[in-house]
Chain A
Amino acid sequence: MISLVHYLTVAAILFIIGVYGVLTKRNIVTILMSIELMLNAVNINLVAFSRFIQPEVLTGQVFSIFTITVAASEVAVGLALLFRVYHDYDTVHIDKLNRMRW
C-alpha cells in the first residue's frame, strides 16, 4: 500500500534534485528545467496531502492547478528572457552572465 509518506519522500527527492540542478548545471535551459522539478515536487505534495488529509475537500488539488498554470507562465517568461540573453551574450552559459558585481 502506498502511503502519504511515500508520496512525500518522492516529492522531497524531486525537490532536492531540482535544487541540485539549479546549483550545478551551467546551461540556463537545464536550470529552468530544474526549477520545474522543484515546482512539480510541490504539486505532488499538495495533491498527496489533499488526498490523504481531506479527501472530501479539494483545496490542495485546486492549488496545484494554480501552481501548474503559474509555472507555465514563468517558463514562458524565462525562455523569452533567454532569447534576449542569447542575443546579447551569444551563449546560454550562466557563468558568462557576469558583467555586474561588487
Chain B
Amino acid sequence: MNITLLTSEIAIICLSLLIIILDLLLPRFETRRSLGYLAAAGVAGVFAYTCTQYGVSATVYQGLFTLDSFALFFKQIFLLAILLTLLFSFDYVEGLAKYQGEFYALLLLAVAGMMIMASANDLLTVFIGTELMTVTFYILVGYQFNSSKSSEAGMKYMILGSVSSAVLLYGVSWVYGCTGSIVFEQIAKHANTSLGMLFGFGLIVAGLFFKMALIPFHMWAPEIYEGAPTPITAMLSMGSKVAGLAVLLRMVFIAFVPMQAYWGGIVSIIAAITMIGGTVIAMWQTNIKRMMAYSSITQAGYMIVGLLSADASGIKSVLFYAMLYMFANVGVFATIIAVKKHHGSNEIKDFSGLAQQSPLLAVVMTVSLLSMAGIPPMAGFAGKLYVFSTVIEKGYLWLGLLGFVMSMISVYYYLNVTKVIYMNEPCVQKEFIVSQPLRIAALISLLATLWIGIYPGPLAELANTAARSLSIL
C-alpha cells in the first residue's frame, strides 16, 4: 500500500488543522491575514508538488483511491482555483465579523474534498469526498453573520444538498445491490441492464447533475450564489461544479461503460436545456452574482457536451474547458469582490465607470467575460471550438449549432456588463482601492486567459495526456 499517493490531500488537511490551531493561539483581536498568507503559501507548495506527480498511475486501499494524470489535472484546477481565490479574498475575509481563521481552514477542507473526488475510484470514496466538500460548503455559504441572505442561502443549500445526497446514496445502494461491488472496475465487470441497475444509475447521475447545477437540477444555484460570501460563490462555481464533473467523467467512462447507449440521449437533452435556459434567464439578471450563477449553469452545459463524444478527444476537450473556465471565473469574481468593497453591493450598475477607476480590473473583467462568451482570441473560443468540434464529429450537429447560437446570445448579456464598465460614468467619486494580492490574482487570470487563447497547444497537450490516462475505450 502506497500511502504517499495521498500526500497532497493529507498535506491540505494538515494545513487546515494547523490553521485552526494557530487561529486559537493568535491574539483575539489580531487580523487573521497572516493565516491567509500561510494557507496560500501551503497551497502553492502542494501545487508545486503535484506538478512532479504527472505520469504516476497507481491505486491504494484495494483500488478505492487512484492517482493518475486525470486526477492530477483536476487537482491542479482545484489547487489553482483555491490559491487564486485566497489571493483575492483576503480583504473580504477581513470584513467578516467573526471566525476569520476558520474560514480559511474550512475552505481548505472543501478543497480536500474536491481532491478526493477527483481521485475517487469507488462509490464510497465518491460519497466521502462529496460530503466533505458539500458539508463544508453548507457552513461557508452561511458564513456571513451580518447578512440574512447568507443564512437563508446556507439553509436552503443544506436542505437541497442533503436531499440530493440522499438521492445519490439511494442510487448507490441499488447499484451495489445489482453488481455486488462499489469499486468502479468491478461494477463495470458485473454491470447488467436490469431495472434496479438503471434506477440506481439514474439516481447517481441525478445527484451529480445537482452538484453541477444543470437545468433542471439547478434551482438552488441562483439563490445560493447570490447569498453566499463572494469567495464561496467563486469556489462553488469553480470547485463544486468541476469536482462533480470529475466524478461524473470517471464514473461514466469506467463504471458505467456498458450503459453508454443509455445516457447519450439524456445528456444531450439536458445539455441543450441547460444551454438554452441558462442563457435566456441570465439576460434578465440585475445582480452580478446571480447573473454569474446562470452563466456558470450555461458553462456547465457546454462542459457536459464533451461527454457525448465518449472518447479521449471528448474528455480532453472537457478538461481543457474546465481549466479555462476556472481562470475566467477568477477574473470575474476578483473584480466583483473589488467592486463590492467599493460600493457595498453586487448590482451590475455598480460597475459603472470601472474603466476609469481601475483600468486593469476593467480589462480583466472584459477579457474574462468575453472568454466565457467564446470570442477569439480569448481562451473560451479555443475551448468551445474543441468541445463542439468533437461532438459534431460524432454526429451531434444540432447540439453544435445550438451551442453556437447560445454563445452568440450570451454575448449580449456579457457585453451588457462591459458596456456599463466602459460607457457609464462612475456613480461614486471616491478612491478605488485594489489590494495587491487581488491585483496579482486578476493579472494571472488575464494572462492565462489570453495565453491559452492565443497558444492553446501546451494546455491541450496536457489535457490530452490526462484524458488518455483514464485508460478507457
A→B interface (CB under 8 Å): 8, 11, 15, 18-19, 22, 28, 31-32, 35, 38-39, 41-42, 45-46, 48-50, 53-54, 59-60, 62-63, 66-67, 70, 73-74, 77-78, 80-82, 84-85, 87-89, 94, 97, 99-102
- Alpha-carbon separation in the docked complex, A60 to B122 (Å): 13
- Alpha-carbon separation in the docked complex, A19 to B174 (Å): 17
Taking a contact as CB atoms closer than 8 A, the residue among A59, A60, A81 that contacts B155 in the complex is: A81
Residues from chain A with a CB closer than 8 A to the CB of B425 are none
B→A interface (CB under 8 Å): 123-124, 127-128, 131, 135, 138-139, 142, 145, 148-149, 151-156, 158-159, 162-163, 165-167, 169-170, 172-174, 176-177, 180-182, 222-223, 226-227, 284, 290
- Alpha-carbon separation in the docked complex, A39 to B166 (Å): 6
Name B169's closest neighbour in chain A (CB-CB). Answer: A42
Residues from chain B with a CB closer than 8 A to the CB of A82 are 155
Question: Does A45 contact B152, Cβ atoms closer than 8 Å?
Answer: no
- Alpha-carbon separation in the docked complex, A49 to B227 (Å): 41
Taking a contact as CB atoms closer than 8 A, the residue among B139, B148, B162, B180 that contacts A54 in the complex is: B180
Contact A100:B223 (CB < 8 A) given known A22-B159, A85-B155: yes
Question: Does A81 contact B127, Cβ atoms closer than 8 Å?
Answer: no
Question: Does B177 contact A45, Cβ atoms closer than 8 Å?
Answer: yes
Q: How far is the CB of B189 from chain A (nearest CB, A)?
A: 14
Name B143's closest neighbour in chain A (CB-CB). Answer: A84
- Alpha-carbon separation in the docked complex, A11 to B170 (Å): 10
Taking a contact as CB atoms closer than 8 A, the residue among B124, B152, B165 that contacts A100 in the complex is: B152
Question: Does B169 contact A67, Cβ atoms closer than 8 Å?
Answer: yes
19 contacts across the A-B interface (CB closer than 8 A) = A32-B159, A41-B166, A42-B170, A49-B176, A63-B182, A66-B127, A67-B127, A70-B131, A77-B158, A78-B158, A84-B145, A84-B154, A85-B151, A85-B152, A89-B152, A97-B155, A99-B152, A100-B222, A102-B284
Question: Does A53 contact B148, Cβ atoms closer than 8 Å?
Answer: no
Q: How far is the CB of B451 from chain A (nearest CB, A)?
A: 37
Q: How far is the CB of B462 from chain A (nearest CB, A)?
A: 34
Name B175's closest neighbour in chain A (CB-CB). Answer: A49
Taking a contact as CB atoms closer than 8 A, the residue among A38, A78, A100 that contacts B170 in the complex is: A38
- Alpha-carbon separation in the docked complex, A49 to B127 (Å): 18
Q: How far is the CB of A20 from chain B (nearest CB, A)?
A: 12
Question: Does B163 contact A22, Cβ atoms closer than 8 Å?
Answer: yes
Question: Does B152 contact A18, Cβ atoms closer than 8 Å?
Answer: no
Question: Does A31 contact B159, Cβ atoms closer than 8 Å?
Answer: yes
